[in-house]
């Protein structure tokens, strides 16, 4: 019996370690609120990608997103659709999400940060309804990872299994740091973060160590500014491998 307990302890420790690693790289594998995904199956490529917005963004931004994604992930998308404004539906108040919302308020009543799971369930529903392979939401709400309360105010997060991403623009604004507003810089950061999150869905969770790669992890905006829109050679090879394997 003691032997089993020891094993159990070991496994629990390992699980904690793994969880910490996962949250450090900013990707949620957390299923604590059991996201419901009727269409859950492997991503079929090329696919359709949908972009949604929550709160106002310049209409030109979508055009730029589309053009850059098509450039960086050449031939991966049949189409990139502008899904327009995101509306919180009734699903937001479904059991799990409501509970999370309540708990979140308890923890943090000063800053109204939003758990990524809140968005994921809605995004899964829309992705299924619109028959999309991947869906990404752009919002200016502050977001935190549903897998770890310690991460407040993230730039973005991707749920690999459910093929949906959320990018929060709040921390990408110069005004957030009490600096002069810079629309150009802001746009560049938004585009890089979107490419980065979509990159995770296509080539997986690990971050790239290469400075000249959009898949490098950015903890601060300065790090986003220092990286390009594009993927490095190694990461591009990963895309090539997928194209070769699936023959497109
Ligand atoms: Zn990342
Ligand atoms: Zn790379």
Q: Does domain 44-207 have CATH number 3.40.390.10?
A: yes
State the Cα torsion 66-135-118-200 to the nearest 10°.
-90
Q: Which ligand is nearest to the CA of 208?
A: 2
Give the predicted TM-score (pTM) of the model: 0.80
The 10s digit of each residue's pLDDT in 135-164 is 999 998 888 777 655 555 689 999 988 999
Residues 71-76: contacts with CB under 8 Å, at least 24 apart? 71/229, 72/195, 72/199, 72/214, 72/229, 72/230, 72/231, 73/198, 73/199, 73/202, 73/239, 75/46, 75/243, 75/248, 76/45, 76/46, 76/47, 76/202, 76/239, 76/242
Task: Give residues whose Cβ lies within 5 Å of ion ligand 2.
Answer: 208, 210, 213, 215, 232, 235
Average pLDDT, the chain: 83
CA distance 188 to 185: 5
Q: Which ligand is nearest to the CA of 215?
A: 2
Between 22 and 224, the higher pLDDT residue:
224
What one-character DSSP code corresponds to residue 44?
P
pLDDT at 183 over 80: yes
CA-based nearest residue to 83, from 116, 120, 37, 129: 129
User: Residue 29 — very low, low, confident or very high, per pLDDT cuts 50/70/90?
Assistant: very low
User: Residue 227 — very low, low, confident or very high, per pLDDT cuts 50/70/90?
Assistant: very high
Centroid of ligand 2 to alpha carbon of 98 (angstroms):
38
Domain ranges of the chain: 44-207
The stretch 194-202 carries a mean pLDDT of 96
Query: What percent of the chain stands above pLDDT 90?
Result: 56
Is 197 one of the annotated active-site residues of the chain? yes
Catalytic residue among 197, 209, 222, 234: 197
Pairing type for strands 114-115 and 156-159 reads unpaired
The 10s digit of each residue's pLDDT in 200-213 is 999 998 999 999 99
**What is the model's pLDDT at position 23?**
42
User: Residue 98 — very low, low, confident or very high, per pLDDT cuts 50/70/90?
Assistant: low
State the Cα torsion 16-20-21-27 to the nearest 10°.
120
CA-based nearest residue to 155, from 179, 173, 182: 173
**What is the model's pLDDT at position 101?**
56
């Amino acid at each position: 019996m003691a032997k089993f307990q020891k094993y159990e302890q070991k496994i629990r420790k390992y699980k904690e370690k793994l969880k910490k690693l996962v949250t450090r790289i900013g990707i949620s594998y957390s299923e604590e609120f059991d996201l419901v995904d009727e269409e859950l199956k492997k991503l079929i490529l090329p696919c359709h990608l949908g972009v949604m917005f929550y709160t106002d963004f310049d209409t030109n931004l979508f055009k730029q997103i589309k053009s850059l994604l098509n450039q960086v992930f050449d031939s991966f998308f049949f189409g990139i659709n502008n899904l327009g404004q995101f509306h919180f539906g009734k699903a937001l108040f479904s059991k799990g999400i409501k509970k999370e919302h309540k708990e979140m308020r308890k923890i943090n009543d000063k800053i109204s940060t939003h758990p990524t799971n809140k968005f994921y369930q809605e995004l899964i529903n829309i992705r299924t309804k619109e028959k999309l392979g991947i869906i990404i939401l752009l919002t200016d709400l502050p977001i935190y990872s549903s897998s770890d309360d310690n991460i407040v105010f993230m730039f973005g997060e991707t749920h690999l299994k459910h093929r949906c991403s959320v990018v929060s623009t709040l921390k990408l604004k110069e005004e957030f740091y009490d600096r002069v507003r810079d629309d150009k810089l802001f746009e560049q950061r938004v585009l890089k973060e979107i490419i980065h999150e979509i990159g995770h869905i296509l080539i997986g969770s690990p971050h790239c160590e290469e400075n000249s790669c959009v898949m490098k992890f950015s903890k601060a905006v300065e790090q986003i500014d220092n990286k390009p829109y594009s993927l490095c050679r190694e990461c591009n090879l990963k895309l090539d491998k997928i194209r070769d394997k699936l023959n497109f």
